[in-house]
Amino acid sequence: MDRDPFLSRRRFIGKLGAVTGAMALGGAGAAEAFTATSTGGRAPAPKTPAEALRILQAGNKRYRHEKLTLRDYSPVGERRASEQKPFAAIITCSDSRISPELVFDVERGNIFVSRVAGNGIDNGTLGSTEYAIAVLGVKLVLVLGHSDCGAIKSAIATVAEGKTYPSSKYGAIGDVIEPLLPTVESLPADERTLARCVPANAIAQAQDIARRGPIVAPAIQSGAIDVVAGVYNIANGAVSIFRLPA
């Protein structure tokens, strides 16, 4: 393994050269979405939740079309190590095939990500997202499910087979599956497919966190943030966004 960060960076940039060349010709929309910070980083600074969503969607479009913005992934240095100004909070699955910064073509410091298998709302994802809203001032919360989700498969099987997860055998795995069950159970038996349950779960979890006080719900009511759901298609990289019913 190459431990020289400068050498590694050159090699990485070299590999990206082909796609960033295309970016320079076709990515004019990306430039306006970012402003330089006082400490040398680049941070999107949306003024509204709608603008924050547009930045994520534009980044996902670049990702899908292999026009990723050239980024420096070497250590950020002392000046940038002491601040973060994320513009969106994302709650997503722990699945190893999801890399949120890549999927939305943003860089470190831009998005505040909480992960748990099945992207359910538990005290960890809730508290982390509340912190992102109240302290870091994010404008958008996205609950992001994904295709081929193993946790949702487990939830479907749990409901279908009446399976249980005693902690003596499964540790805390049942605690991860449990928040996913009500959505599966709410669907007619013949609709409990992965394709149906993944978006249904993302929407249900987004609705769940949107109702939570004392931070999330008031922030929505004041217009400071919005909460949306999404599904990431691992195969083609596309993120579909679902707005919550009013």
**Residues that bind Zn ion in the complex, under the rule CB under 5 A:** 93, 95, 149, 151
Q: Which is nearer to Zn ion, 55 or 229 (CB)?
A: 229
Could you give the dihedral angle defined by the CA atoms of residues 201, 206, 207 and 209, in that order, rounded to the nearest 10 degrees?
Answer: 120
Q: Which is nearer to Zn ion, 58 or 203 (CB)?
A: 203
Quote the least distance from Cβ 193 to Zn ion, whole Å. Answer: 15
Quote the least distance from Cβ 107 to Zn ion, whole Å. Answer: 24
Q: Which is nearer to Zn ion, 126 or 198 (CB)?
A: 198
Evaluate the CA torsion angle 84, 86, 89, 90 in order and state its sign: negative
Tokens of 94: 């722990």
b/e burial code for range 195-216 (CB count within 10 A of at least 16 → b): ebbbbbbbbbbbbbbbebeebb
Quote the least distance from Cβ 81 to Zn ion, whole Å. Answer: 31
Length of the chain: 246
Q: Which is nearer to Zn ion, 106 or 176 (CB)?
A: 176
* Residue in 242, 246, 172, 170 with CA at minimum distance from that of residue 205: 242
Quote the least distance from Cβ 179 to Zn ion, whole Å. Answer: 13
Quote the least distance from Cβ 153 to Zn ion, whole Å. Answer: 9
Evaluate the CA torsion angle 183, 188, 194, 200 in order and state its sign: negative
Residue 49 burial (C-beta neighbours within 10 Å; 0-12, 13-18, 19+):
buried
Quote the least distance from Cβ 226 to Zn ion, whole Å. Answer: 24
Q: Which is nearer to Zn ion, 52 or 116 (CB)?
A: 116
Strand order in the sheet with 140-146: 111-115, 88-92, 140-146, 226-232, 239-243
Task: Calculate the CA 11 to chain-centre distance.
Answer: 28
Q: Which is nearer to Zn ion, 27 or 120 (CB)?
A: 120
